[in-house]
């Protein structure tokens, strides 16, 4: 596919719903009791895989193309699936669902596509085993397909997170809701907190104090009505595009501003990006953002900031190619176990376009400012790599060809339409 380039970007984009919250809204609606209605649900492949997984587990879910309506069955009401549940490319679905299934009284096997089945699951399986769950990977490995066997009762644990991972933390929290006793989680660094917030939203009890989380077990949740805010991870591509393409101005509506997710804004402002906030919606935690072309300078991204930008690091690497000086990203080992090894694939693909970028054991070193040129690049079947390369292509004066552009549909089905709408040519 030939990617879009532009002289400048201008216009307003409605950011698609937050993928992380959309996944969890289905999960909480299913394990709660009573009716849950979800407004502004993200109908992308990953989230639809979550919806279909719970339908396979016997949860009545109705999509009227406007809202999602769930008749929650509680943990006890989940039923055995008729076959292996395939969650496609969605690591979020698999990892969080393992926590939900850990306390069930029947056996379930979860599988994924070729990419997901090469991603390690031990980081989730190990704490669940400590709680008493019987979880085994393919041929007793740490890789999917993963089977969760019948379990009578889970026990609370104290768990010190070896890595900052919202997915691992969330899987433990879902299991802890079913366990006997109070589970205590001590985070390495604070990661995105959507699961903790939604436990409270659905009537659960949880205590969070800095990096320590306390969750009593044997809880029952109640169905709710909720609206999914726009996904800041999707907005990140337009924030960077607006900053690096000359003479641009982009308005982004309905951007979710959960503080555990807004590291991209902090990084960009530190680098000198011109980002303005308007029309803040306190109730739904969202705002309208305006980004303009900016003169950028290099920075260092490390430590406690990394969990707040983990999904945005590939697009931040592109941003750094257009900043004066050397940008360093470190402490980002978690990037190696995403849809691809995003450290290596980001460096590999941007090098093809002329970027001065090098991969390290835990991050990237990017020297700017560089001119990007035409190349044949690949998404490696990773949606965030594919979207990052389209933003890079905006700066090329000649065509850039992308292999496997369809990967982008897992999180942003109309991404290319929005780019085409914003891309302008000088008369």
Q: 246 to each of 151, 241, 296, 316, 317, how far by Cα in Å?
A: 58, 9, 12, 17, 18
pLDDT tens-digit series, residues 331-368: 998 888 777 899 999 999 999 999 999 999 999 999 99
Residue 1 lies in a domain: no
Residues 219 and 243 in one domain: no
Average pLDDT, the chain: 95
Residues 294 and 186 in one domain: no
Residues 172 and 100 in one domain: yes
Q: Is 311 annotated as a binding residue?
A: yes
- CA dihedral of residues 206, 212, 216, 220 (deg, nearest 10): 40
Q: Is 88 annotated as a binding residue?
A: no
Residues 287 and 183 in one domain: no
Q: Is 344 annotated as a binding residue?
A: no
Residues 211 and 286 in one domain: no
pLDDT at 276 over 80: yes
Q: Is 149 annotated as a binding residue?
A: no
**Half-sphere exposure of 329 toward its Cβ, with a 13 Å CA cutoff?**
35
Residue 3 lies in a domain: no
Residue 2 lies in a domain: no
Q: What is the pTM of this model?
A: 0.89
Write down which residue in 205, 227, 249 finishes a domain: 227
Count the domains in the chain: 2
Long-range CB pairs of 61-64 (<8 Å, 24+ gap) are 61/26, 61/29, 61/30
Give me the active site residues, please: 311
Query: Residue 246: which domain range?
Result: 8-17+229-424
DSSP string for residues in 220-253: --B--EEEPPB-HHHHHHHHHHHHHSTT-EEEEE
Write down which residue in 183, 206, 227 finishes a domain: 227
Q: Is 261 annotated as a binding residue?
A: no
Mean pLDDT of 64-78: 96
Q: Are the CB atoms for 299 and 348 separated by under 8 Å? A: no
Task: Give the pLDDT score at 411.
Answer: 86
Residues 263 and 144 in one domain: no
Q: Is 170 annotated as a binding residue?
A: no
pLDDT at 225 over 70: yes
Backbone angles phi, psi at 350, to 5 degrees: -70, -30
Residues 43 and 128 in one domain: yes
Kindly provide the residue ranges of all beta strands, DSSP E only, lying in 330-412, ordered along the sequence.
356-359, 364-368, 376-378, 401-403
Residue 210 lies in a domain: yes
Q: Is 119 annotated as a binding residue?
A: yes
Write down which residue in 227, 252, 274 finishes a domain: 227
Tokens standing for residue 184: 């205590």
Residues 242 and 208 in one domain: no
Q: Is 338 annotated as a binding residue?
A: yes
Residues 321 and 215 in one domain: no
Residues 142 and 279 in one domain: no
pLDDT tens-digit series, residues 107-132: 999 999 998 999 999 999 999 999 99
Backbone angles phi, psi at 5, to 5 degrees: -120, 175
Q: Is 91 annotated as a binding residue?
A: yes
Residues 105 and 220 in one domain: yes
Task: Give the pLDDT score at 427.
Answer: 66
Residues 286 and 176 in one domain: no
Query: The domain that contains 358 carries what CATH number?
Result: 3.65.10.10
């Amino acid at each position: 596919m030939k990617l879009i380039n532009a002289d400048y970007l201008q216009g307003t984009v409605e950011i698609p719903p937050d993928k992380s919250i959309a996944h969890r809204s289905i999960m909480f609606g299913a394990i709660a009791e009573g009716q849950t209605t979800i407004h502004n649900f993200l109908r992308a492949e990953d989230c639809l895989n979550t919806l279909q997984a719970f339908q396979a587990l016997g949860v009545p879910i109705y999509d009227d193309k406007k809202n999602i309506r769930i008749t929650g069955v509680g943990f006890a009401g989940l039923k055995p699936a008729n076959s292996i549940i395939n969650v496609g490319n969605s690591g979020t679905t698999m990892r969080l669902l393992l926590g939900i299934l850990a306390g069930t009284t029947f056996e379930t096997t979860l599988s994924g596509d070729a990419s997901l089945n090469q991603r390690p699951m031990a980081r989730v399986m190990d704490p669940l085993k400590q709680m008493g769950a019987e979880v085994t990977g393919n041929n007793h490995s740490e890789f999917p397909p993963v089977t969760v066997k019948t379990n009578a009762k889970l026990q609370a644990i104290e768990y010190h997170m070896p890595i900052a991972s919202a997915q691992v933390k969330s899987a433990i929290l879902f299991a802890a809701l079913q366990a006997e006793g109070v589970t205590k989680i001590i985070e390495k660094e604070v990661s995105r907190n959507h699961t903790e917030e939604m436990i409270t939203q659905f009537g659960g009890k949880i205590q969070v104090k800095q990096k320590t989380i306390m969750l009593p077990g044997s809880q029952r949740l109640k169905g709710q009505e909720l609206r999914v805010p726009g996904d800041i991870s999707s907005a990140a591509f337009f924030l960077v595009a607006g900053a690096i393409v000359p003479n641009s101005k982009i308005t982004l509506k309905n951007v979710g501003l959960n503080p555990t997710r807004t590291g991209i804004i902090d990084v960009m402002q530190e680098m000198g990006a011109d980002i303005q906030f308007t029309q803040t919606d306190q109730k739904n935690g969202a705002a309208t953002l305006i980004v303009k072309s900016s003169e950028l300078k290099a920075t260092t991204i490390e430590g406690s900031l990394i969990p707040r930008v983990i999904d945005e690091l590939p697009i931040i690497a592109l941003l750094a190619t257009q900043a004066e000086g050397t940008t360093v990203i470190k402490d980002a080992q978690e990037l190696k176990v995403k849809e691809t090894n995003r450290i290596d694939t980001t460096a590999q693909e941007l090098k093809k376009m002329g970027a001065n970028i090098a991969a390290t054991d835990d991050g990237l070193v990017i020297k700017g400012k560089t001119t990007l040129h035409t190349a044949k690049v690949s998404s490696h079947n990773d949606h965030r790599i594919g979207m990052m390369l389209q933003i890079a292509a905006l700066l090329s004066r000649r065509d850039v060809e992308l292999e496997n552009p369809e990967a982008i549909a897992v999180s942003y089905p109309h991404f290319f339409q929005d780019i085409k709408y914003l891309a302008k040519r000088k008369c």
